[in-house]
Structure 1
Amino acid sequence: MAATVENADLVVIGAGWAGLAAAKTYLEVHPDAKLIVLDAQSSVGGVWAQSRLYPTLKSNNMVGTYEYSDFPMDQKTWGVKPGEHIPGNIVHNYLTKYAEKFGVLPNVRFNSKVETAERGEKGGWLLTIGQQKGSILAKKLIVATGMTSQEFLPTFEGQESFGVPLFHSKDFSQHAATLDTAKTVTVLGGTKSAWDAVYAYATKGIEVKWVIRESGRGPCWMAPPYVTPLKRWLEKLVHTRFLTWFSPCVWGDADGYTSIRHFLHGTAVGRFIVDAFWGILGGDLVTLNKYDAHPETAKLKPWIDVFWIASSLSILNYDTNFFDVVKKDNVRIYVADITQLSKGKVHLSSGESFDTDALLLSTGWKHTSSVKFLPAGLEARLGLPHDNDSKDGEQESLVSRTDDEILSTYPRLKKQPEKRKKFTPLPNADDTTPSVDSLSGMNLYRFMVPADEELMEAHDIAFSGNLMTITTAIIAQVQGLWIMAYFDGKISPLASQSSSGSSSASQIDAMTESGQQITSVQYSATLHNRFGKWRCPGGWAGKIPDFVFDALPYVDLLLGDLGVNSRRKGGFLKEITEPYGPEDYVNIVDEWMKGQKE
């Protein structure tokens, strides 16, 4: 007897920031729709699910910038004071209450990991859920699993006989007992999660051996909450329009200030001013953190200029001064590689070795989808990372053309930072998953939908939250609205075929004349995704969208597609000097619906 297949109008995979916003928006416009939200964990929240919380975990954002526009995180309700970072349990409870208030929570099915999504012959997606929980046929599908759901686990020689806890930072909460039982702990990595783990252990008086790979990317950039000589709130700084102009951005013209951007990035005088801005910002961070004041903190000085990073810029959100903690005798930093493990011992390329009671790996994330798409080979058409062994002449030509446009428009990006000779990717413990370097980058139109004509015409699949940024809440809402409008056929990129500008149009014409079939949608998708390779080699380098100062013009771009006003301050001076926050987007769904009626 054939298994019963459940039907749904919309299935959202993932109940984090992006998934909840998308589900809420779709229900707001389609209250009678059959909606199902599937999540592999036992509670909502994604990164902030109950199972991923551990002591000392806080948001990088301070309260006021990490909330949905229509659900303020007020002090009376949530107990977080202005100027404070938000404890992890508060973020989790906030997202739970949001899902509850807007009717999403009753539609969420927990402990439901989607294993496969098969494209139907007449559209729609047949989803298979693990542990024999059945199948769902979704008319429309939103994949909102984000970029921090699949941990990257390296493998080490001798780890089978290591004999002590070895775990990824994602699973810190499952090993929180080590905060009470361990005497010595090793932390591998230079990312923010490594800093968090070092702080958590060191402030408990535990001896910490912090290993930063000599063959890696080095320590991440860390900033105090308030930066520049004027002591501006960092999250507000990156969302102040006139400051976003100092970041070269291939979709930056969406903000409407084309002449100013052209001056800053297209002229020698402008580029001098831009370099001065980034020099001041980077120099201020180095000065404030006082790296050279102590031999141990000197090892935490970043290896790449701040200009070349994106979301890897993080914030010091600790109760006490992090660098004072590192200066204490119970923290030792090693700039070396782990060559092997033996019983309860870590061995380094420097020749040093030491005993340890646990090894926490802050080794990043896989950028592939957690869902297997069928039939085989569909990932490439969807615009997802895929094995890039085969050579496609037309695709190579498209990449070459978009690279030419990026570098001619932004000459500053031609002078890339020098690559470290010792850099070597970590070996993957999962032999079935190709290394990051061997996979293609993501290539979604607007970072959300396939640029493939047939798939785009179906209007039945989208990806939300497949990017790295600190503008999480705002982008989640705007992407949710964009995807809903796209599903309803109110946004039809293929019909409009609008190019990214005159330069793009000339490139497309040249490719068409050479006999290549290329649409402006395909060109735009490739242009925007390739931009990351040149803009942030210190981050994901084009493998996935990764940006900070470019988030506001990205929101402008999506609102422009929707026909919703992106200049929301009222008056030129306010528009360019007052920072944007979630509160500025509180009515965008109503505005869009009103625009549709008119």
Structure 2
Amino acid sequence: MTAQDVDLVVVGAGMSGIAAARFYLEVHPESRLVILEQDTCPGGVWNARRSYEGFWTQWTVGTAEFSDLRMPRPPDEDLYYDFFKSKHTTEYLENYVDQHRFGGRSLRDRITFEFQVKSIKKQNAVWVVKGDSATFHASKVIVASGLTSNPNMPNLPRENYFDAPIIHQETFGQSSVLSSPNLQKITVVGAGKSSADMVYACVKAGKIVSWIIRASGTGPAFFLSPKGKGPYKNAFEIGSTRIAGTLSPSVLTPDNRWTRFIHRTNLGQKIVNAVWGGADKETREGADFDRRKGALKGFENLKPKAPLFWQNGPGGLLNRTDFWETVAPNVHVFLDDILELDTKLVRLKDGSEIVTDVLLCGTGWNAASFGFFESADLLRLGLPHPLVDDPAEEAALWARLQEQADHEILHKYPILAHPPDHPHKSIRTTPYRLYNGIAPLSDESIAFVGYTLVANYFRGVECQAIWATAYLDKKLKLPSVEDRQAEVARLIAWCKRRYLSNGERGNFVAFESNFYTDKLLLEAGLSSHLKGWFRDYFVPGIAQDMAGLKHEYIAKYGDGNVPVSENK
């Protein structure tokens, strides 16, 4: 086994790892930087291995790119309200790692593919990153393995009796499900967009499709119309404005006259309820779950269980003109749990039996996947770890901080005190305890990028990469540890109130993405992304808004080796 000394190890060559490596090299072009990737190609969930024809993005042209390289506009046949097929994101990221060169080497040249990180441990102020074939010693580490690295497989009793393929969404693109004439009866399990994509693709391929959504889960996903309103040509444009973000009661939004009015007065709350209620009603009426003509029995099982405002379960945007028209008359939908498998048979708890040639699992990912850290380091670094492993003193501290934060949140946002009845999915681990979702409270030589759920990952991880670079270079004036603890607890408490099941991990900021990224950039002393109050609030944010950040950063901090005090 070889050992190599480097300056920075980046774990993961998905979108977040690519962004982190690129910006760090913009500041340190001669840095000995290595990217370790377990897959065979870059891009993470958007890589070539996972792609398939029916896979579409949830973002739009002009937003789905990094600020320093434009993505060519896809052809019209691959567009729907400016949403587009995911293969264009795949091509973009492939080109990105080739076109960016630093110190004579491209980003791709720095990626070690098919490298499974086995352990990451700090020894004598040096990080030791071990894999099967090599060990790296580094003074700094950025972990960017992401939220979609380890497939979450459902509990399938008597799985060994099931004489048919079981395929997770991760490998669906590599499978022969759509093309094989021997695979005609398809069963999909899962409630979210990945399941919906596979269901739709299978119906279009002429398959007989059954769709199982667990009764014990949070229920079916909300699938919103992609259409825009007024000056906005699509729903993503609306969600990309800060004014839309202010309609979410959040600890991340500015505390000003408008937000105090909209969230702390009776009239303001009526406005909030009307806006969110209108979107909820439009979504349900568009699907017409109870009365759609020609729908198979069970179509009504796709009706979301909780109001849209609360985002208690999965969600997504419709990016096909005929999604409901395709699903309703062709798909048998079951709202039940799997009892057991048998020979080419899925048996449900209500006694229903589904004959199937293949079982597709759109069941998501194990979100807290940090198996390369020892238990003690999970605790030390503020990463999710089993609740039973949380020391009593530590658990009591965070419980007290979150309780204090909860009182403050309910005072500012009384609407959050009254969630609807909803199926709740609790977790058995602690939430993320990272400052800004990036930085441990105990170690300034390691950062975590890509673990905060935002609406636009391109924007989110690019801003995280900038903040993380400044953090690792000790350019930031951080609050005290106590103040950072209080802020982390505030985000955790708010997430649990605002997003219910989705908020359990303390890393869900779907409708507050702009304010989250603003916070990161402003803490780093950067403001060139701001264009004036009217444009900032009412014009959708696009990648090119941030095109000046690299130059602003370098002008402020130089080459990364000068202390911040000398840059004033």
Task: Output the amino acid matched with 1:383.
Answer: G
Task: Output the amino acid matched with 2:542.
Answer: G
Query: 8 Å contact 1:369–1:384 — kept in the other structure?
Result: no
**How far apart, in 2, do the equivalents of 1:164 and 1:215 lie?**
25
1:511 matched residue in structure 2: none
- Equivalences for 1:105-504 in 2 at 5 Å? 105-121=108-124, 123-129=125-131, 132-177=132-177, 179-180=179-180, 181-227=182-228, 232-253=233-254, 258-294=256-292, 295-296=295-296, 297-309=299-311, 312-318=314-320, 320-328=321-329, 330-374=330-374, 376-389=375-388, 390=390, 391=392, 392-420=395-423, 437-452=427-442, 455=443, 459-493=444-478, 496-497=479-480
1:68-106 deviation per Cα after TM superposition (whole angstroms, max 9, x unaligned): 111111238999668343323321121011111112111
Query: 8 Å contact 2:118–2:372 — kept in the other structure?
Result: yes
Q: Report the alpha carbon displacement of residue 588 of structure 1 after superposing the two structures with TM.
A: 0.7
Query: 8 Å contact 2:228–2:237 — kept in the other structure?
Result: no
**How far apart, in 2, do the equivalents of 1:548 and 1:155 lie?**
29
**How far apart, in 1, do the equivalents of 2:159 and 2:39 lie?**
28
Q: Give the alignment partner of residue 497 of structure 2, picking from 516, 529, 534.
A: 534
Query: 8 Å contact 2:127–2:139 — kept in the other structure?
Result: yes
- The two structures have a TM-score, normalised by structure 1, of 0.87
Once the two structures are overlaid, the 10-residue window that deviates more, 463-472 or 293-302, is 293-302
- The two structures have a TM-score, normalised by structure 2, of 0.91
Task: Output the amino acid matched with 1:535.
Answer: R
1:546 matched residue in structure 2: 508
**How far apart, in 1, do the equivalents of 2:37 and 2:486 lie?**
34
Q: CA 1:287–1:419 in structure 2 vs 1: closer, same or farther (change >3 Å)?
A: closer
2:553 matched residue in structure 1: 592
1:492-512 deviation per Cα after TM superposition (whole angstroms, max 9, x unaligned): 31xx43xxxxxxxxxxxxxxx
**How far apart, in 1, do the equivalents of 2:410 and 2:259 lie?**
15
**How far apart, in 2, do the equivalents of 1:380 and 1:373 lie?**
10
2:564 matched residue in structure 1: none
**How far apart, in 2, do the equivalents of 1:385 and 1:532 lie?**
15
**How far apart, in 2, do the equivalents of 1:234 and 1:84 lie?**
10
Q: Give the alignment partner of residue 520 of structure 1, picking from 438, 458, 483.
A: 483
Query: 8 Å contact 1:310–1:548 — kept in the other structure?
Result: no
- Equivalences for 1:11-26 in 2 at 5 Å? 11-26=9-24
**How far apart, in 1, do the equivalents of 2:281 and 2:272 lie?**
14
1:430 matched residue in structure 2: none
**How far apart, in 2, do the equivalents of 1:398 and 1:76 lie?**
48
1:53 matched residue in structure 2: 51
**How far apart, in 2, do the equivalents of 1:219 and 1:312 lie?**
7
Is 2:554 the partner of 1:569? no
**How far apart, in 1, do the equivalents of 2:172 and 2:239 lie?**
30
Task: Output the amino acid matched with 1:533.
Answer: K
Q: Report the alpha carbon displacement of residue 293 of structure 1 after superposing the two structures with TM.
A: 3.4
**How far apart, in 1, do the equivalents of 2:337 and 2:257 lie?**
48
**How far apart, in 2, do the equivalents of 1:355 and 1:187 lie?**
12
Identical-residue share of aligned pairs (%):
29
Question: Secondary structure at 1:252's aligned position in 2?
Answer: coil
**How far apart, in 2, do the equivalents of 1:416 and 1:300 lie?**
21
- The unaligned stretches of length 5 or more in structure 2 are 102-106, 558-566
Q: CA 1:75–1:178 in structure 2 vs 1: closer, same or farther (change >3 Å)?
A: closer
Please tell me the root mean square deviation across aligned C-alpha atoms, in Å: 2.2
Query: 8 Å contact 1:115–1:128 — kept in the other structure?
Result: yes
Once the two structures are overlaid, the 10-residue window that deviates more, 344-353 or 75-84, is 75-84
Q: Report the alpha carbon displacement of residue 208 of structure 1 after superposing the two structures with TM.
A: 0.3
Query: 8 Å contact 1:118–1:127 — kept in the other structure?
Result: yes
Task: Output the amino acid matched with 1:385.
Answer: P
Q: CA 1:119–1:492 in structure 2 vs 1: closer, same or farther (change >3 Å)?
A: farther
Question: Secondary structure at 2:70's aligned position in 1?
Answer: coil
Query: 8 Å contact 2:528–2:546 — kept in the other structure?
Result: no
**How far apart, in 2, do the equivalents of 1:401 and 1:565 lie?**
32
**How far apart, in 1, do the equivalents of 2:80 and 2:155 lie?**
43
Question: Secondary structure at 1:372's aligned position in 2?
Answer: coil
**How far apart, in 2, do the equivalents of 1:313 and 1:158 lie?**
31
Question: Secondary structure at 2:540's aligned position in 1?
Answer: coil
Query: 8 Å contact 2:209–2:332 — kept in the other structure?
Result: yes
1:509 matched residue in structure 2: none
Task: Output the amino acid matched with 1:560.
Answer: L
**How far apart, in 1, do the equivalents of 2:140 and 2:78 lie?**
38
Q: Report the alpha carbon displacement of residue 593 of structure 1 after superposing the two structures with TM.
A: 1.7
Q: CA 1:81–1:302 in structure 2 vs 1: closer, same or farther (change >3 Å)?
A: closer
Task: Output the amino acid matched with 2:527.
Answer: N
Q: CA 1:79–1:195 in structure 2 vs 1: closer, same or farther (change >3 Å)?
A: closer
Q: Report the alpha carbon displacement of residue 285 of structure 1 after superposing the two structures with TM.
A: 1.8
**How far apart, in 1, do the equivalents of 2:95 and 2:531 lie?**
29
Q: Report the alpha carbon displacement of residue 553 of structure 1 after superposing the two structures with TM.
A: 0.5
**How far apart, in 1, do the equivalents of 2:15 and 2:524 lie?**
21
Question: Secondary structure at 2:268's aligned position in 1?
Answer: helix
Moved over 4 A (4+): 76-82, 227-232
Aligned length: 545
1:380-413 deviation per Cα after TM superposition (whole angstroms, max 9, x unaligned): 2211110112433222212211222222221111
Q: Report the alpha carbon displacement of residue 379 of structure 1 after superposing the two structures with TM.
A: 0.5
1:582 matched residue in structure 2: 543
**How far apart, in 2, do the equivalents of 1:212 and 1:49 lie?**
27
Query: 8 Å contact 2:24–2:469 — kept in the other structure?
Result: yes
Q: Report the alpha carbon displacement of residue 311 of structure 1 after superposing the two structures with TM.
A: 8.8
1:409-462 deviation per Cα after TM superposition (whole angstroms, max 9, x unaligned): 211111122133xx6x7xxxxxxxxxx72111111100001123xx1xxx2100
**How far apart, in 1, do the equivalents of 2:126 and 2:100 lie?**
26
**How far apart, in 2, do the equivalents of 1:78 and 1:289 lie?**
26
Question: Secondary structure at 2:476's aligned position in 1?
Answer: coil
Q: CA 1:77–1:185 in structure 2 vs 1: closer, same or farther (change >3 Å)?
A: closer
**How far apart, in 2, do the equivalents of 1:265 and 1:134 lie?**
54
Q: Give the alignment partner of residue 85 of structure 1, picking from 83, 89, 114.
A: 83
1:160-199 deviation per Cα after TM superposition (whole angstroms, max 9, x unaligned): 1101001211121232345423110100111101100100
